[in-house]
Amino acid sequence: MVPGLVPEQSPSDHCYRMDSSPAGTPSPQPSRANGNINLGPSANPNARPTDFDFLKVIGKGSYGKQNHIMAERSVLLKNVQHPFLVGLRYSFQTPEKLYFVLDYVNGGELFFHLQRERRFLEPRARFYAAEVASAIGYLHSLNVIYRDLKPENILLDCQGHVVLTDFGLCKEGVEPEETTSTFCGTPEYLAPEVLRKEPYDRAVDWWCLGAVLYEMLQGLPPFYSQDMSQMYENILYQPLRIPGGQTVAACDLLQGLLHKDQRQRLGSKSDFLEIKNHVFFSPINWDDLYHKRLTPPFNPNVAGPADLKHFDPEFTQEAVSKSIGCTPDAVASSSGASSAFLGFSYAPEDEAILDY
């Protein structure tokens, strides 16, 4: 029977480091073998949680459905080459758990900084929106719709650049003229066509970008209400209201991205090209942006990998559960793990674990 929920406990994000090899033993080079991790000529050829030191709990998520887990892994494998998408270093499984080993990003969630500062000035919001748009445009070039853009899924690295994460709701294989229809996302950021349960395309991500940009500039999502039913009504029928204080370019971009008709929405015809050519982004050199030659408007001022000041103390003060790293039969082999996740395990061939 295929499990509907993957972990036996609430899944956690952990700061970790890879254990060193014993003295005199060459460090094994990871390689792929039959869909499972092969660490090379070693007494322990399969990846285990005990190969890692689990240092801190830095967050917790909800339970994940099987198809969301595999979708996340699949998209993560495609993201290695983009500067604003989190990278997958390893994935492996035990009889009880699935493990993603991702880039360590400790500049904090955009949500964290926005809650603390209430709103951002236009130059800062423009910088983040541009990096996010670049990441979304890249996903679209791979025929992937992201579908869950929100401040909680946008991280800042140690320099202040955006890192987009959490690909569990991504939809793969959607060609430019094709649509999908699954009702999913986060209530505050749902596009009207999703609420109407109509077929939708990649323009749904540009609506979400507009909602996030609006929130960065105004402090709340554009149609927010504590009453969810009322919020849905607002998204469907309420005209967009933009309080004073924004430039004409910002207002025009928001109106274009938050157009209720997806066929008229900015990005609906030429996708990312329409976004990057909008006058609001005219100060951005997109080539410099992609290569991180632009100085971020905010520096998280992290002292190093051990600096956890941008993580919630509710998590960082929590002891790491022994069950996370000390599962008795924790080996990444199809014989010991559920066949429902065959092919889950992955290791890059020639990449260091941490580049801090």
Q: Name the active-site residue from 19, 51, 103, 148.
A: 148
- Using alpha carbons, select from 151, 16, 107, 156 the residue that is nearest to residue 310: 107
Q: What angle do CA 56, 58, 60 make, to 5 degrees?
A: 120
The Cα–Cα gap between 250 and 241 comes to: 13
Give, for 31, the enclosing helix (H) or strand (E).
strand 31-33
> Which H/E stretch holds residue 253?
helix 248-257
- Annotation marks residue 148 as catalytic: yes
User: Pairing state of beta strands 31-33 and 36-38?
Assistant: antiparallel
Q: CB neighbours of 139 closer than 8 A, spacing ≥ 6?
A: 75, 85, 145, 146, 170, 205
DSSP 8-state assignment for residue 34: T
Residue type for position 148: D
Tokens of 193: 């066509």
Is residue 36 within 8 A of residue 90, CB to CB? The reply is no
Per DSSP, what are the bridge partners of residue 346? 91
| Interacting residues of 249 by C-beta distance below 8 A, sequence separation 6+ | 278, 279, 280, 282
C-alpha distances out from residue 160 to 66, 129, 136, 347, Å = 33, 13, 18, 28
Report residue 28 CA to chain centroid gap. Answer: 29
Cβ-count burial of 238 within 10 angstroms (0-12 exposed, 13-18 middle, 19+ buried)?
Answer: middle
Instruction: Judge contact between 206 and 268, C-beta under 8 A.
Output: yes
158 phi/psi in degrees, rounded to 5: -65, -15
- The catalytic residue positions are 148
